[in-house]
Amino acid sequence: MELRTPAELKEMRPAGWFVAQTLATLRQEVAIGTNLLEIDARAHELIRAAGAESCYIDYHPSFGSSPFGKVICTSVNDAVLHGLPHDYRLRDGDLVSLDFAVSVNGWVADSAISFVVGDPRPADLALIETTQRALAAAIETAVVGNSIGDISAAIGGVCRGNGYRVNTQFGGHGVGRTMHGDPHVANDGLRGTGMKLAEGLVIAIEPWLLETTSQIRYDPDGWTLRSADGSRGAHSEHTVAITADGPLVLTAR
């Protein structure tokens, strides 16, 4: 686990701003009829224009059948994480999750949003809103002296309190020169457990939920992760620095 100095946190700001700005732009532009490949192409164009570097394109963990090859994750409806952009045009009422991580000047920022294109189903809005509230509650607990377990418990508490079950297989992580570092930040856990939060720790906090199951399955591409029962998913993520003045959301939009 690495801790960042205030000067390093300052150096991390442009990555956070760029990720925030890109997600805000895509949120505005994506609509009924947008192809997922167009979202990837647009994100790639913005990356090139900014001189940023994608964290995804060459990413090849053990669970992926090949390097990711795209610059943004586009997960639609029952897909919730690691959605590999493919030839699909968004339809009225589709629930879209975009997860985006880049490096700017050698520092990474990572953030995700979910939204509905066209006419939303109330259940989808509730799901999205719950992931957002879980993220907000988690960020509030991201203060010096608390523990990783406090963040996990905050997320799990909001999610379970709203009748959802939580999958803890994938969660938050340290962010710095690379996209994934220690510590792991599980999306549920016990207060007061795990590592103490210290000044200068930078973590991605990323609650994600499925409507009626905690079970997941993978597409044959080895990437796109879906609910086991076809119910829909939502995802909210920010990169957060723990500072003497409290949590600093580097990817605030």
Q: Which is nearer to Mg ion, 24 or 32 (CB)?
A: 24
* Contact call for residue 110 and Mg ion (CB under 5 A): yes
Provide DSSP, 62-99.
TTSSS---SSSEEEETTEEESPPP-S-B--TT-EEEEE
Rounded least distance, CB 33 to Mg ion, Å: 26
CA distance 111 to 99: 6
Q: Which is nearer to Mg ion, 165 or 180 (CB)?
A: 180
Distance (Å) of CA 216 to CA 105, 219, 238, 242? 36, 10, 23, 31
Rounded least distance, CB 160 to Mg ion, Å: 22
Rounded least distance, CB 163 to Mg ion, Å: 25
Q: Which is nearer to Mg ion, 110 or 211 (CB)?
A: 110
Locate 22 and state its tokens: 């890109």
Q: Which is nearer to Mg ion, 156 or 172 (CB)?
A: 172
Provide DSSP, 106-146.
TEEEEEEEEEESSS--HHHHHHHHHHHHHHHHHHHH-STT-
Counting residues that bind Mg ion (by CB under 5 A) gives 4
Rounded least distance, CB 204 to Mg ion, Å: 6
CA distance 199 to 156: 24
Rounded least distance, CB 49 to Mg ion, Å: 21
Q: How many CA atoms lie within 13 A of 68 on its CB side?
A: 24
CA distance 247 to 252: 11
Please give the residues from 201 up to 240 whose contact with Mg ion meets the rule CB under 5 A.
237
Please give the residues from 70 up to 109 whose contact with Mg ion meets the rule CB under 5 A.
99
Span interacting with Mg ion, options 60-68, 83-91, 111-119, 126-134, rule CB under 5 A = 111-119
CA distance 212 to 100: 26
Length of the chain: 253
Residue 152 DSSP code: H
Rounded least distance, CB 173 to Mg ion, Å: 9
Q: Which is nearer to Mg ion, 59 or 218 (CB)?
A: 59
* Contact call for residue 124 and Mg ion (CB under 5 A): no
* Contact call for residue 150 and Mg ion (CB under 5 A): no
Q: Which is nearer to Mg ion, 61 or 145 (CB)?
A: 61
Q: Where does this chain bind Mg ion (CB under 5 A)?
A: 99, 110, 112, 237
